[in-house]
Structure 1
Amino acid sequence: MRVIDGMHRLLAALLRGRQTIEVELFDGTPEEAYLHAVKANVVHGLPLSQVDRRAAAARIIESHPHMSDRAIARASGLGAKTVAAIRRSSADAVPQLNTRVGRDGRVRPLNALEGRRRVVAVLAEHPDASLREVARLSGVSPATVSDVRRRLAAGESPLPSGTEPTELPGTERGGDGTQRAGSDSRSNQTFMDPVPVMEKLLRDPSLRHKEGGRQLLHLLRQNAVGVQDLMELSDAVPPHCRSLVINLAQHYRDAWQSFAEALDDSV
């Protein structure tokens, strides 16, 4: 009978003299209840302070070491890089696992090299399999499969350049460790985590105190999604809507590109 979420609503009901209140029962361990409580308090009510969020993330890392940095970041309201730093500082108290569970519930290897090695093996065994089927069999994202398949088709190493050399079955020497995405000339681009960038912009008074600045922050906040997150959202697009979504995505891409070029020209 411990309240996980809704302390203030319960207190308000008591002050009004109510004898009962409608509740949603939670069935789980104390650690799961704590995770649920943190998630709830991040998205509504009085925002948690940065200290509270970091403390929450540290506790979740200890109780749920299998959760990915992005999953814990989303639960605690921090950036993935901040969570990764907290995890590193807690390395002695946290068991070291070979896989983690992402926000989509999928289990992925910590070592991206191992994931790409499995993609190469699966593609060799099932060359006609779809991206999603290879991703399912390999335990990686469809974006990684797409990148590996493109590199192999071009006669390149399936590993991004500039990483530590390691032998892969049927490939030249290479290495992995940097998150890459895409299937064109931009596939060698390293994508940043937008969350800490947005946190910095949201704290800037020169943006927050202007109408135009607030509008820009609103737009940027709506678009603050990582490449990996977009790849996961591709599952939600039904076949009959794909062409429409593709056209919109390309339109938004061109609009933001023009905006970036205009800013660059004004420097």
Structure 2
Amino acid sequence: MNAHSTPRLRHKTRPAAAFAALGETGLRRIEDCIVNLLQRDEAEDVHALRVGARHLRAVLWVFGPLLPPGIAQRWKQDLRALADAAGEVRDWDVFMVETVQPALERQPGDSILHAVADTARTRRRLARETMLTRLAQYRDDPLPALHRDLAHLPLHTDDGSGSLGPFARTRVRKARKTLRRRALAARHDGLRALHRQRIAGKRLRYAIEALAPILPKQKTRRLHHKLVRRQVRLGGVVDESVARRLMSECLGVPLQEQDAGPDAA
């Protein structure tokens, strides 16, 4: 199977077999991203790795209840570590493109802005060096172990989950309920709750994309469009908070607690 092809899922597919197919495709895509990042320095490659990890984490969430506890926990930890490896570089990339560069275009002679840009580039370079070290290690281990997990899954045994169609719809409904609950909490609990809402929305979105062949097309298409719009809106709020944190780091001034982003130390 091509690394970028979509597995052919059917309503009667065993869920374990569906996870193996989706997991293998996701791992291949992540491997391609790591190769690109080790060979060149492009912001879009960092973003692609993060998106690939999120997609696979959503797949893991969908099928997690069917997996042996040891495998599910290992995948959860390893995929989180992978996403975290590229997180700081991605933050600096967004900060440069959406905050620093527009400011320099408006005030090209501002010495403080140029100092901020220099500091941001230095921090980003150091973060990238750390990221590449972690990715090279990840490629050697645990990535091969994740492939072995898929190779040894019992794909055709009756695990009590039935066929993929009903199972997938049940899991998507659960993800939607979680999103609604977090959306209500975000109305009262501030930025961190908003960040959790955003994560729940991404999980639902990527689960729908992975399971699209066996979900009701018209309903899921409308829901997917809504999730994309909401993700853009919430992403802007979170990115602004992260930008304040990074600007404070560049200027060497303390960050107000209410401005602390979800990833702030």
Taking structure 1 as the reference length, what is the TM-score of the superposition?
Answer: 0.28
Question: Higher relative contact order by CA 8 Å / sep ≥ 6: 1 or 2?
Answer: 2
Higher helix proportion (structure 1 or 2):
2
Q: Which has the larger radius of gyration?
A: 1
Taking structure 2 as the reference length, what is the TM-score of the superposition?
Answer: 0.28
